[in-house]
Structure 1
Amino acid sequence: MSPDASAPVTPLPEASAEEPHQPQAVPVKRRPRGRTTLIIAAAAVLGIAAGTAVGYGVQAGRAPTPLTALSQSDLAYPAKALPADQVPDPLPASQDRQVRTDGDLRKLIIPRPAGWSDNRDMGVLPDGWMGVDDYALDFKSEDYMYGKLLAADIRRVAAASWKKGTYRTANVWLVQFRAGVDTAAADHAESQRAYMPVADRGAGNEGSALKGSGRGRYYLYKAERKAGYMPVYRARAVFHRGDVMVDINMFDTAPISKKDIRTLAERQLERL
């Protein structure tokens, strides 16, 4: 059928030179968000699992690697003892601290000073030993200290307690640790010195260095005063030698001089 000639013809709009004809944009269907990430993650998991399985299979197919023989052909020490004329002389007791401290530790406590008498009120046993529990009782946290000493492999405590006049007392404690724990005595001494500058726990000051003792120090406490009671003065010295930690305390209702505690500590240091 031919088109109807009589039908009106709608003219096409003329393209403008300034405004060229713009085609209409065709809407694009977007992929749902997250699908690509999920696909990549799943592929990574499958890759890791496959790699692990292949690695186990390769390792299982290999022959076991033999261990190094425990026995060695060459000894690190001479097979035969040295001749008598080549054996080195043992260290003298003055240089070998273990020889001194392996014996009766109580004999290393300085002799009772002149003018003093024995004091049996400080937990010292009649034979001169002190139990670890009795030693720990002197600390505010005795349960903690008791456990700490046991963990450090404490060996024994030799002790002496003296009194002079009505109120002055002095306690000397030699706290020994097992020889295999080289730093136990030093660590225990350092833990005691660490809190001494704190007023409510220690002396409230840095103390004074004890010459010849390494890091040893001695301290004077501020007087403890309570209504209705006489003041209590205290001095303390803390140092160590080898596997022995030394703890010296003095108490009195009258002031204690630095010389009093220093002299006692210096004598004990020389004794060790």
Structure 2
Amino acid sequence: MLGAVAGGCTGYLIQADRKATALPPLSQPTLPQAKGPAPKPLSAARDRQVRMDGDLRELLLDKPRGAKDVDGLKGNDGWLPMYEYANYFDKPVRAFGALLDDEFRRAVTTGWEVGNSYTVEIQLAQFRQEEDMVVDHRVETSERWADNESDTDSWPVPGTENGMVYVHRTPEEKPGYLPLYGAEAYAWRGDTVMGVWVYSSKPIAKATIMDLAKRQMERL
């Protein structure tokens, strides 16, 4: 400690014996100004962040004309509380804890039934991502589960980072029920995860699930 103080005092004494150094002038050179009018700020309709921070339900696809509501669809007026969102997973209690760790923010859902042809359900889930980027990992996990099902075809969703659609060719069968075919799609953009599911008693075409996934991602 004494050596440090002594060295500091010596430095001050040397500076005191030296002639003062002139300071640079305070004035700075004038920078050229851009010509033309200043660009206008983006409108709320064009500013993606404004849209994503607004009513998330407005970004869900609209129910087609003539389609019916889905009986038993979870949620409250389109909003999906975290505990109900966790119930979509095989192990809801573990999923609830993971959602807390991943800084779950909010989720919304919609769905409809097209005649007797097929049923659609769509979810959007937002995460704060103040600590880590979790949406990519969440989508990859969902895609891994979907891809592990036997007799499944998959294709990338154009215009997305790693979005995929999956069509399961083998139906689930239970005594007393019609066979149930399924297709699903996952993708993310910014802080939001998209999930789309289609169910039908008949095989589901790639075009059906792909069209839903593409149109939903275009709204994010």
TM-score range, shorter chain: 0.7 to 0.9
Please give the alpha-carbon distance, in whole angstroms, between the structure 2 residues aligned to 1:158 and 1:87.
38
Query: CA shift at 1:180, angstroms?
Result: 2.9
> 1:190-229 maps to which residues of 2 (within 5 A)?
190-199=140-149, 205=152, 207-221=154-168, 222-229=170-177
Please give the alpha-carbon distance, in whole angstroms, between the structure 1 residues aligned to 2:55 and 2:131.
20
Does structure 1 conserve the Cα–Cα contact (< 8 Å) formed by 2:103 and 2:129? no
Q: Tell me the amino acid that sits aligned with residue 100 of structure 1.
A: R
Hey, what does 1:155 align to over in structure 2? Answer: 105
Q: Tell me the amino acid that sits aligned with residue 130 of structure 1.
A: L
Query: CA shift at 1:87, angstroms?
Result: 7.9
Q: Quick check: 1:265 aligned with 2:213?
A: yes
Taking CA–CA contacts closer than 8 Å with sequence separation of 6 or more, which of the two structures ends up with the larger relative contact order?
2
The alignment's C-alpha RMSD in Å is: 2.8
Query: CA shift at 1:159, angstroms?
Result: 0.8
Residue segments in structure 1 that go unaligned for 5+ positions in a row: 1-61, 67-84
Deviations 1:191-245 (A, max 9, x none): 211222212xxx6546110111120000012211233331111110100111110
SS at match of 1:128: coil
* Residue-pair matches, total: 190
Query: CA shift at 1:104, angstroms?
Result: 0.5
TM-score, normalising length from structure 1? 0.62
Does structure 2 conserve the Cα–Cα contact (< 8 Å) formed by 1:196 and 1:204? no
Does structure 1 conserve the Cα–Cα contact (< 8 Å) formed by 2:69 and 2:113? yes
Please give the alpha-carbon distance, in whole angstroms, between the structure 2 residues aligned to 1:181 and 1:255.
42
The structure richer in strand per residue is: 2
Match of 2:79 among 116, 125, 129: 129
Q: Tell me the amino acid that sits aligned with residue 230 of structure 1.
A: L
SS at match of 1:195: helix
SS at match of 1:150: helix
Please give the alpha-carbon distance, in whole angstroms, between the structure 2 residues aligned to 1:170 and 1:211.
20
Please give the alpha-carbon distance, in whole angstroms, between the structure 2 residues aligned to 1:161 and 1:124.
11
Residue segments in structure 2 that go unaligned for 5+ positions in a row: 6-34
Please give the alpha-carbon distance, in whole angstroms, between the structure 2 residues aligned to 1:206 and 1:94.
36
> 1:92-241 maps to which residues of 2 (within 5 A)?
93=44, 96-125=47-76, 127-166=77-116, 168-178=118-128, 180=130, 183-199=133-149, 205=152, 207-221=154-168, 222-241=170-189
Q: Tell me the amino acid that sits aligned with residue 206 of structure 2.
A: K
Greater C-alpha Rg: 1
Q: Tell me the amino acid that sits aligned with residue 147 of structure 1.
A: G
TM-score, normalising length from structure 2? 0.76
